[in-house]
Amino acid sequence: MDEAPRDFGFNTRAVHAGQRPDPYTGASATPIYQTAGFVFDDTESASAYFNLQEYGNVYSRIMNPTVAAFEERLANLEGGVGSVAFASGLAAQAGLFFALLEPGDRIAVAKALYGGSTAQLNHLARKLQITVDWVDMDDPDGWRRSVTTETKALFAETIANPGGNVLDISLAAAVAHEVGAPLVVDNTFATPYLCRPLEFGADLIIHSATKFLAGNGTTIAGAVVDSGTFDWSNGRFPSIADPSTAYHGLKFHETFGVYGLLMKLRSETLRDFGAVLAPFNAFLLLLGIESLVVRMDRHVANALAVAEWLREQPGVGAVRHPALPDSPYRQLVERYLPAGAGSVFSFDLESGREGGRCFIEALSLWSHLANVGDTKSLVIHPASTTHRQLSDDELAASGVAPGTVRLSVGLEDVGDLVWDLERGLRAARGSAVTA
């Protein structure tokens, strides 16, 4: 008698999904398929692959078995039907919006957003003749007020960088579906371990896999995950539902159903963009995800301990950790992030811009660099780095003040992290006295 298929847990899937031991060699780790092309069985197979009539490896700018193992693992953990990896999170984001949008379309995007994403969307808007409607995601009516009949997507981060705003996913999804648009969520800061937005109605996920998924700060990578539940044939998405000129009139949604968008994203957008993930980078991501759960638990605990300590220190203004008891996002954290609100948050130095400079220069254990989600603790002063391209208004809108410092709390001993921060705070207070 057939055994019922087992519903494997998250930990098990983080270690195994997308990869089985190599059937030929027995290798337990995923082989790095460092090859540009793949030999066809015969001419019939070759044409079947090119016509998308059969799934097969053709060329590593479109697909690669090591990359596929990462894609399937991420899709599995997020609860999606599949995923397409890109060379970076921003490449994934540009690729997805390029696939979805036509000139004249609008997208509604949370103002509280990673500065690089804001800059990219502003560029895309100019180059592709689309309009970005910026939304106050903290306002319960913000999404509804910002969507129009031309809106083709709603976009926000689960936990905003660096303001720590938490998205009300179900609310945004409801508004999106009222206007027949997908909700796209950047789940980088939460990872599928802390939050799975597809379970709350989101349709598409974007990741900068560079962060907690890779985990060790080794790899630039990104991905798009699709829930497979959005109706691309609702009359609003001709680029996915109508005949594609790139494939002799193939209709991606009709032909591939729930896999239609991802097939288009891979075989048209990624093929054309060329922003492909390297097999070695995919290998590092697979290693990273194997330890995602144990790392995230420690990241979450360390970050909360550091945030609680910071709140008690002189010279420190707002501490924007969404899981703190008095955070305005506390209820959203309980609903969407019950296992923790990640380990990236920001706080304000009362000593402003100069205080920020002195603070960072006095640190010796924390690394001053432009990344987050590393095992090592990282610190940055957004006003002079990641958010430098933004105007003052855009800066304020993304939750950044001149004295705002962003922390990405790593896996070190909390006592050591706090010891170093104490030295930085002392230097910042000194700057305020002498200024």
Partner 1 sequence: MQEIVLNAHTVAIVGLSASELRASHFVGYYLQRHGYRVIPVNPNEERVLGEQVYPSLRDVPDHIDVVDVFRDPAAVPDIAREAVEVGAGALWLQFGVISPEGARIAQEGGLAVVMDRCLKVEHARLLGRMHWMGFDTGVIAGSR
- Per this entry, what is the length of the chain? 435
Compare residues 2 and 326 and give the one whose CB is closer to partner 1.
2
DSSP annotation of 30: P
Contact 386, 394 (CB under 8 A): no
Compare residues 193 and 359 and give the one whose CB is closer to partner 1.
193
CB of residue 201 to partner 1, shortest distance in Å: 19
CB of residue 84 to partner 1, shortest distance in Å: 6
CB of residue 43 to partner 1, shortest distance in Å: 13
Could you write out the three-class secondary structure of 243-290? Answer: CEHHHCCECHHHHHHHHHHHHHHHHHHHHHHCCCCCHHHHHHHHHHHH
CB of residue 95 to partner 1, shortest distance in Å: 13
Compare residues 23 and 103 and give the one whose CB is closer to partner 1.
23
Compare residues 26 and 325 and give the one whose CB is closer to partner 1.
26
CB of residue 187 to partner 1, shortest distance in Å: 16
Compare residues 75 and 154 and give the one whose CB is closer to partner 1.
75
Compare residues 18 and 355 and give the one whose CB is closer to partner 1.
18
Compare residues 64 and 93 and give the one whose CB is closer to partner 1.
64
Q: Count CA atoms closer than 13 A to 313's CA, side-chain side.
A: 24
Q: How far apart (Å, rounded) are the C-alpha atoms in residues 190 and 360?
A: 26
Cα 327-200-15 angle, rounded to 5 deg: 95
CB of residue 69 to partner 1, shortest distance in Å: 8
Helix-helix angle 352-362:414-434, to 10 degrees: 140
Contact 190, 159 (CB under 8 A): yes
Radius of gyration of the chain (CA): 22
Does the N-terminal peptide bond of residue 328 adopt cis geometry, omega within 30 degrees of 0? no
The distance of Cα 313 from the centroid of its chain, to the nearest Å, equals 32
Beta strand 106-110 pairing with 151-157 = parallel
Contact 121, 109 (CB under 8 A): yes
CB of residue 254 to partner 1, shortest distance in Å: 6
The H or E element spanning position 224 is strand 222-226
Q: Which amino acid is at 229?
A: T
Compare residues 34 and 51 and give the one whose CB is closer to partner 1.
51
Q: What tokens were used for 221?
A: 């990578």
Contact 52, 247 (CB under 8 A): yes
CB of residue 265 to partner 1, shortest distance in Å: 10
Contact 430, 358 (CB under 8 A): yes
Q: Which residues bind partner 1 (CB under 8 A)?
A: 2, 5-6, 8, 12-13, 16-18, 20-21, 23, 26, 28, 44, 48, 51-57, 63, 65, 67-69, 71-72, 75-76, 80-85, 243, 248-251, 254-259, 262-263, 266
Compare residues 44 and 392 and give the one whose CB is closer to partner 1.
44
CB of residue 217 to partner 1, shortest distance in Å: 24
Compare residues 3 and 326 and give the one whose CB is closer to partner 1.
3
* Lookup result for tokens 């303001």: 163
CB of residue 81 to partner 1, shortest distance in Å: 6
